[in-house]
Chains A and B, each alone.
Chain A
Amino acid sequence: MEEPSKFEQYVYKNASVYHYMKISLVLENGNKYITDAQFKQLIICGLKDLYGEVGASFPFDLLKFDQNKLTGILRVYNSGLVKLWSALTLLGTYQNEACAFRVMQVSPFLLALSGNSRELQFGDQLTL
């Protein structure tokens, strides 16, 4: 009789201290020239409008920013995720122009943001 194989299972409850969000800014009249500092300032303004000075001073980082597509990766502590996310949702205007933040991915692990099944594009060699 063979011994049944043993295995151990690790379950993490709060695996990561941070949450990472991949977001993209959609403007009504096409892309404008926005630097990363302006992008972060826009998000801080949104936080300030909704949650005041206390909310706006909550630390978050803009890790990556693509100026052509206006997409970025934010990092925030777990306690500030709901506030940051709701501030992004309710942000409506940028310099008197209508805009919208589209949150593409949210994950406690940065690695999960590298692949995205929504934007997966198969190459030409799909069939064998």
Chain B
Amino acid sequence: MPGPDSVYDPKGAPKLRNEDFRINVLHSYNILDTEPEARFDRLTALAARIFKAKASLVTLVDSERVFFKSNTGSFEGCGEVPRSTSFCPFVTLPTSKPCLVVLDASKDGRFHKNPLVCGEPHMRFYAGVPLETEGGFVLGSFCIVDFEPRESFSEEEQEMLVGLAKLAIQEIEKHNRAAELQRLQQKKFEEDKRGLLQAIDAFSEGLVLVDVSQKGQPIVFVNEGWEKITGYSANESRGQHCGSLLQGPLTSLETTHTITQACKEGRPASVEILNYRKDGTPFWNWLRIRPVEGSNFGLSEDTRNGQGRYYFGILSDCTRRKEKELELEAIRLRELEAEASVRAKRSFVANISHELRTPMNAILACSQLLTDMPSLTDDQRELSRMIQGSGQQLLRLINDILDFSKMDAGKMELRCAEFNLWGCLDYCVEMLAMRCESKGLDLSYNMDESVPDWIWADDVRLSQILTNLLSNAAKFTEEGGEIEVSVSAVRRSPRRTSSDGAGAPSSAGRNSAPENSAHLPEYEVTFAVRDTGIGIPAAFQEVLFDAFTQCDNSRTKKYEGTGLGLAISRDLAERMGGRMWVESEEGKGSTFYVSIFARGSMRESSGVALSPEQAVCRAATPVTGKRALLVGGRNTFQRMVGSMLRVWGLEVSVAASVEELHGLLGPAEKGRLQAPSNGRKFVRVDVGGSQGKPFDVVIVDCFDTVKRTKHGRKGAVDGGANGRTAPADLVALGCQLAERVPTFLLTSKDTKSLISQWADMENAVCLSRSIRINLLYATLLQRLAHQDPLSPLTTPRSLLDSIASDYAEGGDATSLEILVVEDNKVNQRVLNKVLKSLDYDKIRTAGNGREVLELLRQQPADVVLMDVQMPEMDGLTATTRIKADISDEDQPMVIALTADVGNDIEKECREAGMISYLSKPVQKSKLEKLLAKCGYYKQHRSERKMLKWIDAS
């Protein structure tokens, strides 16, 4: 049986040609050097028992050794033997037999010198079946060993051993697949982890993994980002509690609570939290946390066997953004605070000014009454005037503040009406005249011929601007200085076409003139107020119009004032479509310019277009029908004086030249007038007038004549060729009239001496050319109506007021039929009672807007007191309906009752066609006055038609 290969070789079994490959395959099974396994041991134990063998093994034949994967029996404890001594390598050799059987090794040439055969354990019997893989490689053998030689190993026995070997190789193959799978998985996992770690470290954000299932919630992993952001190294961080590492004194407890709560509830969270680095510097951390159940991604050793509850945290240093946000927030807060405080101040100022005005008005009214008392001594009157003066000054200040706060709140509104520009200007000059006189200032004004006599604008606001400028001029001009107001006008093409009612942006700010002025041309009227005062430094001119400024503090001390006047004036001017600017030279004086846009007309002041007020004035004056002679150049000044005299009801004749004067005086007197020659020469004149009716008053304008003489302008004395300036001889003649007739000489301060050569100063009244119409009027009254010259000068305005109120009271008011519309029963009751207490007894009551219409249809009423806010139909709607539904003759005067006050509601009421409004709760005194006026209008139906609005406040 032993062939050539049956010769003993101490190196053991010969090697196959592809032995290296087989070894590789074996290694790939990863079964070498693994622990014994029951599945193989069960097979070997079975084989040992079946074949009654001393040992049974699963062996794997490596290049230099034979590894025992399973070893049952006598060799237990032995893991491997050198390949040279083992029988098994022979099993790996190709053979046709399924099994290598050695019945007695001591007699087998291949093995008889084998140390395991010659020596211990004296192996004799060996039967081994190759463990052949599916790929046909033999890894080792399944073998049994005995120490006694055997007679035989039958076919059946061999087959049985082959069967067992097959089971073994199957187990090996199975082991190999599982191992392969695991290996591949491990490999992938390792790669993933490497990638993940790289990614994690490349991440600029900090990452932290915390095990929240453990006490103290230790950090189990951090990345490089964490180290960079927090300053703590991975080693320092691991095992620590995140919060105790990062949180510090200024960390918001609320935010930490949010985090803790989220962890407890297993929710993700995102917060911005103030954290501290290792070096103690604080930083804002945008922290996002998210729970990771049962896995730590292999980022740390899993000591919890998959039982841990982990939280993943991402940290971003958002300090910059946060600081910017906080900064913005702080700014916003500051702004809000400032705004709130500004608002509070505004409303405070508005309220307080309003409150102040009420008692101030009372003080003024009382002091006025006091001043008017005839029994007063001069001293007392003087004192009472001082009270009035100071009171007025205080009121001006209060009004300034009130205006400013209104302006500031955008609540300033203009009211447009047609008025006489002369009157307005004069009123303003009048206001300042006393002050200028006492300070020895020469105050004059003149108007270009181009200026329209009548304009549509807000006269109250315009006077406010001019008064402000004049009072500034007076304030800042030293004694002996001059103040001059000049008015000029340029016609402007209308800024909007008639079809374009919406108007250009420039017209949006100002009050649009009412419809009936639309046909009039539009003018840019410019007022220049020139003074010879201290002037304004160039640098200061820019801020001059800002609120609360005066030139400097030292001046503020010297010159009282709020510093609001100019700011208000400019705002007003801009609202009137114009602007305001200043030209000034320090030490020489300033000129303030104001321009406004207004529609205007040049009506001849013949008294045709008198307003009701003026009509009242004329009717009331004791100078009506008197004849006046105006002597002087044909200029605007003369035009103005003439127009005013006519307004007052005088008949006016004008003499602009010697010839005209002669003509007016009649031929009889002509010859008796002589031009002045050297020295004083008086010529008696019978001032009869051509119609034989004597003149009652002569007014001579000496101003330009003398002034120009003084300034050495040739030609002026002889009369300007244009006829605007009175020739000296005319003036001289005019002056002579003073002997016979009350004569007013309009002069300037420095011309008095010259005039005195010509005029009998005893008889003449010298008035400054800065003539105030009102003063002229008052003097006229004194001279012509022989009123007590000491009695206080009544200005036409206050005169008008008193006349107007006389009229108002004269109406049979109590016959008014009144309809009260009020949904509130309590208010109804009270209002009824108030009306009854005022002796109105024709009162009906309606509970809402619908009812009032019904009641009015049944029987008309004179006055409707209309609650604005009512259910069903509000007062405004009801009024609109009344206007539409009720016939003209039966239209009532609707007065709004409202709890809301302010410009808006007034506007709404006006638009709805109401004539006035009263704020609720209704004050008896106001209601009384308003109803008295209504009574007047009831009596005067024609005026009623003109009635637009009564200001009840």
Whether chains A and B associate is no
